[in-house]
Amino acid sequence: MRIGSISVGLDCMGMSFDYGPAADKADMIELIRAAVEKGINFFDTAEVYGPFTNEGLLGVQLTSYRYS
């Protein structure tokens, strides 16, 4: 068996949907930053989690990594 790449992920559903009220945006942006610094390289999002809410949070934080 050959493994081409390995992803370590973060499930983003709880950031804006399902587990009670949406979490604080600033806290979730900080969580994404900490995840990237610890090597997370896969973020599970879906439109059903609150249309484009999690993608927006990811965009805010990951933009700073765009060219690094």
Report the alpha-carbon distance of residue 1 to residue 10 in Å, rounded.
Answer: 26
Single out the catalytic residue among 19, 49, 65, 67. Answer: 49
Which stretches within the chain are classed as H helix? Answer: 25-37, 53-62
Catalytic annotation present for 49: yes
- Tell the burial category of 28 from Cβ atoms under 10 Å away from its Cβ (0-12, 13-18, 19+): buried
State the catalytic residues. Answer: 49
